[in-house]
Amino acid sequence: MSNSREPFRERIARAADAKKSPIVLALDLPTSKRNLPAFAAKTIRAVGQHICAVKMNFHLILPLSASEISRINKLVHSYGLQSIADIKLNDIENTNEVAIDHLTRMGFDAVIANPFIGKGGLAALVQKAHKAGAGVIALVYMSHPGAKEGFGLEVGGRGLYSEFLERATGAGADGIVVGATQLDILRQVAKQQLPVYSPGIGAQGGDAEQAIRSGADYLIIGRSIVEAAQPAKVAKEIQSRILLSVRK
């Protein structure tokens, strides 16, 4: 990682363009899987042509060592893809900075953080990440049913997510997360300058085309691809459907 690199935001846009796919593969492998690194590699090889990035959550980050994660990230990069660490960082400044250090050493290109930590903390995190050549994607509205009890709280006469959006913009974040199950919010944030990442497609009930039409720039898709009998077939189908949808 070096600060002379092209910014994350441009790297992932270029990857999406090259692959003709806005799909971020969430490598959410079940705990029951044996040999997680091999299964992760097999999945990346299978769908690498149909996605622009890979996102890893605790499914891999907890059980695997730093060197195993590094090897996966090298494979991700060899396919011209970006890699995102989804630990929904929400800690004190010192811990967030240490996390960025470790994650960038493992080859991650971006980290997902929760603006709940406050403006200053988020800004410090973005600065630290940018220095390391990495990006920060800020949560604005998650996809689960309980999301309204956090991001949907009414604070000062408006949804907390509006405040989070302002914090993300103010901090210079490289993107925001808005669940594909929240189409109204997607339409609202689509007017912003920040790229929108939408999780919750498939297993959680969100629809890929609807999300794209509502303003999502990237679709985060996990279980419906990863747990499919033929991941490449499913990924390619979603990719084609989105391409058709965009052409409409």
Site for its own copies contains 178 (CB under 8 A) = no
Site for its own copies contains 146 (CB under 8 A) = yes
Residue 86 bears catalytic tag: yes
Site for its own copies contains 70 (CB under 8 A) = no
- Spatial distance between the Cα atoms of 131 and 156, rounded to a whole number of angstroms: 34
Footprint (CB under 8 A) of its own copies, residues 14-53: 28, 30-31
- Spatial distance between the Cα atoms of 231 and 225, rounded to a whole number of angstroms: 5
Sequence-ordered alpha helix ranges (H) in 153-229: 160-171, 183-189, 208-214, 223-226
Q: Tell me how far, at minimum, the Cβ of 115 lies from its own copies, in Å.
A: 8
Q: Tell me how far, at minimum, the Cβ of 55 lies from its own copies, in Å.
A: 11
Among 61, 186, 208, 238, binds its own copies (CB under 8 A): 61
Residue 124's identity, in one-letter code, is A
**Residue 25 β-bridge partners:** 54, 221
Residue 138's identity, in one-letter code, is A
171 contacts 138 by C-beta, under 8 angstroms: yes
Q: Tell me how far, at minimum, the Cβ of 240 lies from its own copies, in Å.
A: 27
Residue 206's identity, in one-letter code, is G
Q: Could you tell me the two tokens for 67?
A: 């060197």
Residue 109 bears catalytic tag: no
| C-alpha closest to that of 194 among 136, 150, 133, 144 | 136
- Exactly one of 20, 91, 131, 236 is catalytic; name it: 91
Q: Tell me how far, at minimum, the Cβ of 102 lies from its own copies, in Å.
A: 4
Residues that bind its own copies (CB under 8 A): 28, 30-31, 57-59, 61-66, 68, 87-88, 90-95, 98-99, 101-103, 105-106, 114, 116-121, 142-150, 153-156, 160, 203-204, 223
Q: Catalytic amino acids?
A: 86, 88, 91
